[in-house]
């Protein structure tokens, strides 16, 4: 019998050995070398390692090597790593480890001791310590400790004998004990609300390390308060942390707490502080967008959210907030387009018993928050995670059709436009994708061929988007170009099998046509490989990608797709090589980075520490094919876009700065700090010199500081921007009053009352200024009355009227009245003569012969209170019965005279009553040239 036969019989006998024991003759080099049963070799190795038959190190090593060849992952080959001890290390290594541990222990003890020695920490901890969260009452520790000491110090009662126990009344003793406990316990102290927590910490005596430790501890307290929904306490602790060391995290957390408290301006300032420290901080941008949304600045909110999505495209919180903000912005624009009027109400003080000075300031500063802010916007979403956006990993890679045209730059694969901006599809196709027609097993989608974005043959019915399937594609003939465009469209709609058929027909047609365009053929193979990859046919995908790379070496998309196919087939080494080649071409491909990290872990598990030695050679990519090394000058469109973006950023920053400064100025005004408010409003005007509200607000501060000249200048500037601004007129009137220009003051107050007759402050000021104006006029007039200049007779054929002497004659001599004056001087002489003599008939003839259009010009320098009253009397008593139309025309032009408003203000009550009678009689007169409504409108200008 041969040795092989003997071995087979022995092996068979060992296989069917019920006892499971290994015979001693099997523990031999020759037997182990010929044995192919992995399980039986495991038993042999176990017996050799146990030492029951002796210690044979060389035989054990030989058995392990043979078993490793048959089954590299056999559990029997696993060895336990023993714990490292002093015996397993050299003396120098062990002493070094011991020295490092001792040094670390000593440093830790020193740090702990130094922190405990500082009294500052105890003061900070014990200072204004709030009660336990969630409790409404607390008992001072000192009182409870004293009571405990009293109870502990009380002596125990001596034991009693049996006779005394018979006399003992248990119920009475229990009542006595209960009563004493109630009386001795200190009353609970009820705490209403939170105590005042100081927001600043004095850290002048602390080192930088201690400050950092204390700032982090205060921030952690704020986080704990925030998680308990105690936002006011959280703001206090965050402020304490910021007073020690300003950090981005503390500013961000305090901003979120302020948002929950709806303190929008405080939150805005915190977000601005973060962005000054880190201009692209995602949390700060997201929270500032939330603040802009609630303040009604929807455009600014949209810009911030888009910046967040550029940095984190998968940020769900930003995406949701962007959709809500765009809806609110659209509704706001619709309201603006309808032209609705906004009612602006003046802010009233809480105290009804205000002084006149307080009521005079009823026109408060302009609010910084526009109409439609907090109330019109949606309420913020209550979140317990302090508004932290959830970060999602990037996608694995690309699986869509090839986007390069014949002359396309490889860098187009990384453009951010997405497929929706460059390739239009029908609405029906979109619905198919939305309903699940496309397969979800793939990764990110890719842009289709750019040449198919032009207008052309419509696809679909009326109202659908169009696409040109006959668009040219490089050097491909029109039939092949149409096949390629149809394949791109089918791939985009998720119809991968149909797209694969189109690409295959295009490749076959390319071969039959005999054209020479390797770039176009590379794109067709790459696109068909994408279809194979979507359908799970990784083997054909690898073949097509290899063909594409033979035509165009170091093409990015075929390499990436072949790597993904290798990975799906668990051929990790080749996948690793392709991914590394992709990163040499373009280091910014995040999908390749993620895949390299993932495959590295798998290769370490599979091949052990020497996994790199088993990899195929990674090809070196020439510099001409490395996209990230290409530095092309930006185009004119890119430069223009950058300039526009910089301008928008500057405008947004200026808007935010302006809003914050204005709010600070308004807060200073409310606190009565007018000098500080002046500085804020002045900075606002540097940012926006055309803002009318800032001029009126600063004018109020100048008035409070009794700087009337500057207040008047600001009011003038506001009226240049808005000629009908009511607040500017009112505050300029107060400035003129302070400058003792009562005539200008009364004119401005009358303008305010003309715009709004219900302003009581303006009415009171007008009464006071009227008295002051009369006193100033009386003080300026001479002591003796002015005599009337005698009027001589007029030669010629002009009609004259002689007035005889009477008691009403001003000079006691005959006066001749010219009834046809030719200039202002002659009209004034004739009117004065008629008024002084009391000759109403002559005045009536004079007014009848005077044109209504010329009457304001004639009276421009002659009009005063007495003359105006005399004219009203003449119109009522003489001209109204003869010619009511002429009376109406005179009255319609008389109020346009220069000094009319001043004269009307100085009329006495009797004179006003005569004027009222005139309009009543005129209203009762019937005429074809005017109506009662016309008379009523005219009377509003006089009465």
Task: Give residue for tokens 């058929």.
Answer: 501
pLDDT at 388: 41
Question: What is the C-alpha to C-alpha distance for residues 900 and 862, in angstroms, rounded to an integer?
Answer: 11
- Residue 221, pLDDT > 60, answer yes
φ, ψ for residue 138, nearest 5 deg: -150, 155
Average pLDDT over residues 397-425: 39
Query: In terms of DSSP H, where are the helices of 128-281?
Result: 141-153, 162-167, 170-184, 208-227, 231-244, 248-260, 264-277
- Residue 731, pLDDT > 70, answer yes
Do the Cβ atoms of 323 and 305 come closer than 8 Å? no
Question: What is the C-alpha to C-alpha distance for residues 571 and 565, in angstroms, rounded to an integer?
Answer: 9
Do the Cβ atoms of 718 and 738 come closer than 8 Å? no
Element (H, E) at 137: strand 137-138
User: What angle, rounded to 10 degrees, do the helices at 674-687 and 692-704 form?
Assistant: 160
Question: What is the C-alpha to C-alpha distance for residues 81 and 86, in angstroms, rounded to an integer?
Answer: 15
When comparing pLDDT for 806 and 525, which is higher?
525
Do the Cβ atoms of 197 and 126 come closer than 8 Å? no
- Residue 788, pLDDT > 60, answer no
Angle CA(228)–CA(230)–CA(231) in degrees, nearest 5?
125
pLDDT at 756: 86
When comparing pLDDT for 449 and 106, which is higher?
106
Question: What is the C-alpha to C-alpha distance for residues 710 and 727, in angstroms, rounded to an integer?
Answer: 16
Residues forming a β-bridge with 138: 189
Question: What is the C-alpha to C-alpha distance for residues 15 and 735, in angstroms, rounded to an integer?
Answer: 116
pLDDT at 336: 60
What are 701's two structure tokens? 């501060």
Chain segment 303-354, per-residue pLDDT in tens? 888 888 888 888 888 888 888 888 887 777 766 655 444 443 443 333 333 3
pLDDT at 299: 86
Do the Cβ atoms of 291 and 367 come closer than 8 Å? no
pLDDT at 515: 81
Q: What percent of the chain has pLDDT above 70?
A: 71
φ, ψ for residue 689, nearest 5 deg: -75, -5
Indicate the Cα dihedral angle 580, 586, 590, 596, nearest 10°.
0
pLDDT at 123: 57
Average pLDDT over residues 668-697: 91
Question: What is the C-alpha to C-alpha distance for residues 396 and 567, in angstroms, rounded to an integer?
Answer: 11
When comparing pLDDT for 6 and 559, which is higher?
559
Average pLDDT over residues 690-716: 91
Do the Cβ atoms of 816 and 838 come closer than 8 Å? no
Question: What is the C-alpha to C-alpha distance for residues 153 and 342, in angstroms, rounded to an integer?
Answer: 76
Do the Cβ atoms of 200 and 240 come closer than 8 Å? yes
- Residue 529, pLDDT > 60, answer yes
Question: What is the C-alpha to C-alpha distance for residues 599 and 579, in angstroms, rounded to an integer?
Answer: 10
- Residue 514, pLDDT > 80, answer no
Average pLDDT over residues 516-523: 88
pLDDT classification of 364: cutoffs 50, 70, 90: low
Chain segment 261-279, per-residue pLDDT in tens? 989 989 999 999 999 888 8
User: Where is average pLDDT lowest: 149-158, 360-369, 372-381, 925-934?
Assistant: 372-381
User: Where is average pLDDT lowest: 27-31, 504-508, 628-632?
Assistant: 628-632
Chain segment 96-105, per-residue pLDDT in tens? 899 999 999 9
Alpha carbon 710 to chain centroid, angstroms? 37
Number of CB atoms found within 10 A of residue 474's CB: 19
Task: Give residue for tokens 């005079």.
Answer: 360
Element (H, E) at 189: strand 189-190
Task: Give residue for tokens 């495991």.
Answer: 42
Report the predicted TM-score, pTM, of the whole model to 2 decimal places.
0.31
Long-range contacts of 903-907 (CB under 8 A, 24+ apart): 903/863, 903/864, 903/865, 903/868, 904/868, 904/942, 905/746, 905/750, 905/766, 905/770, 905/773, 906/770, 906/773, 906/774, 906/865, 907/865, 907/868, 907/869
- Residue 855, pLDDT > 90, answer no
Maximum distance among all Cα pairs of the chain, rounded to whole angstroms = 178
Chain segment 801-819, per-residue pLDDT in tens? 444 443 344 444 445 667 7
Alpha carbon 700 to chain centroid, angstroms? 31
Question: What is the C-alpha to C-alpha distance for residues 699 and 718, in angstroms, rounded to an integer?
Answer: 10
pLDDT at 288: 92
Residue 115 DSSP code: H
Burial call 301-313: b when 16+ CB within 10 Å, e when fewer:
bbbbbebbbeebe
Question: What is the C-alpha to C-alpha distance for residues 70 and 41, in angstroms, rounded to an integer?
Answer: 10
Q: What percent of the chain has pLDDT above 90?
A: 20
When comparing pLDDT for 713 and 190, which is higher?
713
Average pLDDT over residues 370-398: 39
- Residue 118, pLDDT > 70, answer no
pLDDT at 518: 87
The answer to whether the Cα torsion of 533, 537, 538, 542 is positive or negative is negative
Three-state DSSP at 457 gives: coil
- Residue 913, pLDDT > 70, answer yes
φ, ψ for residue 260, nearest 5 deg: -65, -30
Chain segment 159-218, per-residue pLDDT in tens? 666 767 777 777 777 877 776 554 445 555 444 445 578 888 888 878 888 888 889 999
HEC readout, 658-710 = HHHHHHHHHHHHHHCCHHHHHHHHHHHHHHCCCCHHHHHHHHHHHHHCCCHHH
Average pLDDT over residues 13-40: 77
pLDDT at 884: 87
pLDDT at 895: 84
- Average per-residue pLDDT in the chain? 75
Pairing of β 800-803 and β 815-818:
antiparallel
pLDDT classification of 236: cutoffs 50, 70, 90: very high
pLDDT at 105: 92
Indicate the Cα dihedral angle 622, 625, 629, 631, nearest 10°.
130
Query: Nearest-CA neighbor of 499 among 577, 566, 439, 586?
Result: 439
Query: Nearest-CA neighbor of 738 among 713, 711, 766?
Result: 711
- Residue 430, pLDDT > 50, answer no
pLDDT at 149: 47
Question: What is the C-alpha to C-alpha distance for residues 916 and 923, in angstroms, rounded to an integer?
Answer: 11
Across 70-84, 387-401, 477-491, 854-868, which has the greatest mean pLDDT? 477-491
Average pLDDT over residues 544-559: 91
């Amino acid at each position: 019998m041969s040795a092989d036969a003997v071995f087979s019989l022995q092996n068979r006998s060992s296989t069917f050995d019920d006892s499971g024991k290994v015979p001693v003759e099997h523990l031999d080099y020759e037997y182990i070398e010929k044995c192919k049963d992995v399980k039986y070799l495991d038993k042999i190795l176990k017996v050799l390692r146990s030492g029951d038959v002796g210690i044979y190190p060389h035989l054990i090593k030989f058995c392990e090597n043979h078993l490793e060849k048959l089954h590299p992952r056999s559990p029997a080959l696993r060895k336990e790593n023993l714990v490292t001890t002093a015996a397993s290390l050299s003396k120098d290594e062990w002493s070094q480890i011991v020295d490092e541990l001792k040094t670390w222990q000593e440093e830790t003890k020193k740090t702990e001791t130094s922190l405990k020695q500082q009294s500052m920490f105890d003061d900070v901890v014990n200072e204004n310590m709030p009660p336990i969260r969630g409790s409404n009452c607390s008992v001072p520790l000192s009182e409870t400790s004293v009571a405990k000491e009293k109870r502990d110090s009380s002596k125990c009662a001596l034991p009693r004998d049996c006779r005394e126990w018979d006399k003992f009344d248990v119920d009475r003793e229990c009542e006595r004990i209960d009563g004493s406990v109630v009386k001795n316990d200190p009353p609970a102290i009820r705490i209403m609300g939170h105590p005042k927590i100081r927001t600043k910490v004095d850290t002048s005596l602390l080192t930088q390390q201690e400050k950092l430790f204390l700032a982090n501890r205060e921030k952690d307290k704020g986080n704990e308060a925030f998680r308990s929904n105690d936002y006011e306490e959280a703001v206090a602790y965050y402020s304490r942390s910021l007073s020690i060391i300003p950090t981005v995290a503390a500013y961000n957390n305090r901003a979120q707490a302020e948002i929950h408290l709806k303190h929008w301006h405080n939150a805005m300032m915190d977000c601005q502080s973060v962005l000054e420290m880190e201009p692209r901080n995602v949390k700060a941008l997201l929270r500032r967008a939330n603040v802009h949304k609630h303040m009604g600045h929807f455009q600014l909110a949209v810009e911030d959210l888009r910046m967040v999505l550029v940095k984190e495209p998968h940020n769900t919180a930003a995406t949701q907030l962007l959709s809500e903000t765009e809806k609110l912005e659209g509704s706001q624009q619709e309201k603006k387009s309808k032209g609705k009027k906004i009612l602006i109400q003046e802010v009233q003080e809480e105290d009804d018993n205000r002084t006149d000075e307080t009521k005079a300031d009823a026109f408060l500063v302009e609010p910084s928050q526009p109409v439609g802010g907090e109330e019109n916007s949606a309420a913020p979403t209550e979140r317990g995670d302090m508004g932290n956006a959830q970060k999602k990993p990037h996608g694995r890679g690309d699986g869509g059709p090839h986007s390069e045209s014949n002359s396309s730059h490889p860098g187009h694969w990384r453009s951010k436009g997405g497929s929706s901006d460059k390739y239009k599809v029908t609405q029906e196709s979109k619905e198919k994708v939305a309903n699940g027609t496309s397969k979800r097993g793939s990764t990110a989608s890719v842009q289709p061929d750019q040449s198919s974005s032009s207008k052309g043959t419509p696809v679909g019915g009326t109202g659908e988007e169009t696409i040109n399937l006959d668009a040219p594609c490089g050097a491909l003939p029109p039939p092949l170009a149409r096949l390629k465009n149809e394949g791109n469209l089918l791939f985009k709609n998720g119809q991968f099998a149909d797209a694969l058929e189109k690409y295959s027909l295009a490749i076959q047609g390319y071969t039959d046509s005999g054209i020479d365009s390797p770039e176009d053929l590379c794109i067709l193979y790459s696109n068909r490989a994408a279809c194979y990859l979507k359908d799970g046919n990784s083997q054909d995908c690898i073949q097509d990608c290899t063909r594409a790379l033979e035509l165009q070496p170091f093409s990015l998309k075929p390499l990436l797709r072949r790597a993904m196919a290798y990975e799906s087939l668990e051929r990790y080494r080749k996948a690793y090589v392709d991914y590394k080649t992709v990163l040499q071409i373009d280091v910014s491909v995040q999908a390749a980075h993620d895949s390299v990290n993932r495959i590295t872990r798998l290769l370490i598990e599979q091949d052990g520490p020497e996994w790199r030695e088993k990899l195929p050679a990674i090809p070196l990519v020439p510099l001409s094919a490395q996209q990230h090394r290409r530095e092309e000058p930006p185009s004119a469109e890119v430069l223009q876009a950058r300039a526009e973006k910089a301008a928008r950023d500057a405008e947004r920053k200026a808007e935010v700065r302006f809003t914050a400064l204005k709010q600070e100025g308004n807060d200073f005004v409310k606190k009565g700090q007018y000098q500080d408010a002046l500085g804020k409003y002045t900075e606002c005007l540097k940012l926006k010199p055309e803002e009318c509200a800032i001029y009126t607000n600063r004018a109020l501060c100048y008035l409070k500081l009794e700087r009337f000249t500057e207040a008047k200048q600001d009011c003038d500037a506001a009226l240049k921007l808005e000629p009908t601004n009511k607040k500017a007129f009112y505050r300029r009137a107060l400035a003129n009053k302070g400058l003792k220009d009562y005539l200008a003051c009364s004119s401005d107050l009358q303008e305010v009352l003309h715009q709004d007759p219900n302003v009581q402050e303006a009415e009171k000021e007008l009464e006071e200024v009227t008295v002051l104006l009369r006193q100033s006029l009386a003080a300026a007039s001479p002591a003796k009355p002015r005599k009337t200049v005698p009027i001589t007779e007029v030669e010629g054929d002009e009609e004259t009227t002689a007035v005889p002497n009477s008691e009403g004659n001003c000079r006691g001599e005959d006066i001749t009245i010219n009834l046809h004056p030719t200039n202002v001087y002659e009209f004034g002489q004739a009117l004065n003569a008629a008024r002084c003599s009391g000759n109403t008939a002559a005045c009536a003839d004079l007014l009848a012969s005077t044109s209504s259009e010329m009457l304001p010009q004639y009276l421009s320098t002659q009009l005063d209170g007495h003359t105006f009253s005399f004219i009203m009397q003449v119109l009522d008593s003489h001209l109204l019965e003869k010619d009511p139309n002429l009376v109406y025309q005179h009255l319609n032009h008389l109020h346009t005279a220069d000094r009319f408003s001043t004269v009307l203000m100085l009329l006495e009550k009797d004179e006003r009553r005569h004027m009222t009678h005139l309009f009543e009689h005129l209203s009762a007169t019937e005429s074809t040239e005017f109506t009662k409504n016309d008379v009523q409108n005219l009377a509003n200008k006089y009465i």
